[in-house]
Amino acid sequence: MQILFSGLNEQASRAWVGAPADGASSLEWQPASLFIAEAEMAVGEPGRKWVWFYRAPWVWLAEGASYKVAAALQQWQTQQRAVLQLRRNLREHLLLVNIDRVDARAFAEHVGILCGAPSSPVAAYTSLTSALASLFEQTAPECWTLYEALEAAAWLPEGEPEFRSNRALPTTEGLGELLELIQAGRQMPAVRQQFDKLSEELRQTDEVLKVAQAQADCNQREAGRHLIESEQIAQSLRYDLEQARAAEQNLKNEQGVLLAQLHQVQEELEKQYLANASFKQQHDALTQELASVVTHREHLTEQLEIVQAALTEAQQAQGQLGEADVQMKVASANERADLQSLVEENELLLAQLHSVQEKLENYYLANREMLVAMGQSEHTMHRARNLISQMATHV
């Protein structure tokens, strides 16, 4: 079955009815003009049910959003008269429902639908509602007449229709609320002006915020660009750091190799130094031996000089002692033999002396070269020690 409803705006109608839970029934809201026009042409048409929602005019106006009250009230009266005319033609096919006096679940059960609307008990009379109803009775009795006609024909599961005879009487509290509403209405232009001013300030603030947001977006994009550049720089720095660490590791390895080589050179220099020291001891011993040989040579030279002096004296004595020539010849032969022996011994000593002198000269030259090499070795060893100490400090 298709259920068409109208009378109130779509939002208020659907909020009261709720969404259908079964899907078997089709609930469709229509504007009041379309609803009335189609209902007039659908007299006696089966398969459709027409539902008209309404409220008391004072409640509808008090909670409505219309600023032109007189025009809205005139429209309400026109629509309600047309619906009452439809009621005479459609009879039970048109259901009139006062949503302020009927529970939504009871309505759903009555029309045979399952809906998700919450239970809405009948609204109690308020002091303001009573005051407005009395005011309408005095100023717009025709509205009360139409409202009573709607109440008389409406579907009401329980309770009594609302008539002027059984309505709640106004109270002082209602009058106070009404006066407060009037005062609030008079203050409305100032409030609206203040609201417009605040709206303009809000608009200007919104423009400032938009500009600030645009600037913030620009700054954010710029920050993002800087962040990307920073990440690229950081990546490059990390790569450089890795290269530097690799180079540092290679340098440490090279330093280790160089340090081992320096230790080996130092050991060789120490061995050379010890060998030079031993050679120096040998040189000192040979120097002492040479000094002893020189002393012995001087002693032999002195003896040779004595022998030569004696030979000279003998030759002089030969001239004076001619008589003892034979004896002297024998003696001279012996002397010559001894002299020859001495000369040969002297020549042998001279040859040995020359050999020793040559050896000493060779030793002297070798010692001088070794001293130069030792000086260079000591300088190299001193530099090596400084380099080793520096490398040990850096490591």
Residue 53 amino acid letter: F
Mean pLDDT of 339-347: 80
Confidence of residue 297 (pLDDT cuts 50, 70, 90): confident
Q: Of 61, 85, 63, 71, which Cα lies nearest the Cα of 146?
A: 85
CA distance 252 to 259: 10
The answer to whether the CB of 321 falls within 8 A of the CB of 394 is no
- What burial letters (b/e) apply to 62-94, b meaning 16+ CB within 10 Å? eebeeeeeeebbeebbebbebbbebbeebeebb
- What burial letters (b/e) apply to 357-378, b meaning 16+ CB within 10 Å? beebeebeeebeebeeebeebe
pLDDT, the chain, mean = 80
CA distance 32 to 26: 18
Query: What pLDDT is attached to residue 65?
Result: 57
Query: What pLDDT is attached to residue 150?
Result: 93
Query: What pLDDT is attached to residue 155?
Result: 92
Mean pLDDT of 26-47: 81
Confidence of residue 78 (pLDDT cuts 50, 70, 90): very high
- Please state, in angstroms and as integers, the Cα–Cα distance from residue 12 to each residue in 55, 71, 82, 177, following that order: 11, 21, 21, 25
Q: Break the chain into its structural domains and give their ranges.
A: 2-168, 258-394
Q: What SS3 state is found at 258? A: helix
At 137-187, the pLDDT tens digits run 888 899 999 999 999 999 998 888 989 888 777 777 767 777 776 766 677
Q: Which of 54-68, 154-168, 211-225 has the lowest mean pLDDT?
A: 54-68
At 105-126, the pLDDT tens digits run 888 888 877 665 555 544 445 7
Strands 48-54 and 26-29, bridge-based pairing: unpaired
The answer to whether the CB of 127 falls within 8 A of the CB of 177 is yes
Confidence of residue 305 (pLDDT cuts 50, 70, 90): confident
Confidence of residue 322 (pLDDT cuts 50, 70, 90): low
Q: Which pair of tokens denotes residue 182? A: 């009037």
Fold of the CATH domain 258-394: Helix Hairpins (1.10.287)
Residue 178 CB neighbour total at 10 angstroms: 17
Query: What pLDDT is attached to residue 121?
Result: 47
CA distance 113 to 20: 7
Query: What pLDDT is attached to residue 311?
Result: 74
At 265-296, the pLDDT tens digits run 778 878 877 877 776 787 777 778 777 767 87
* Predicted model pTM: 0.47
Show the beta-strand stretches assigned E in 249-292.
none
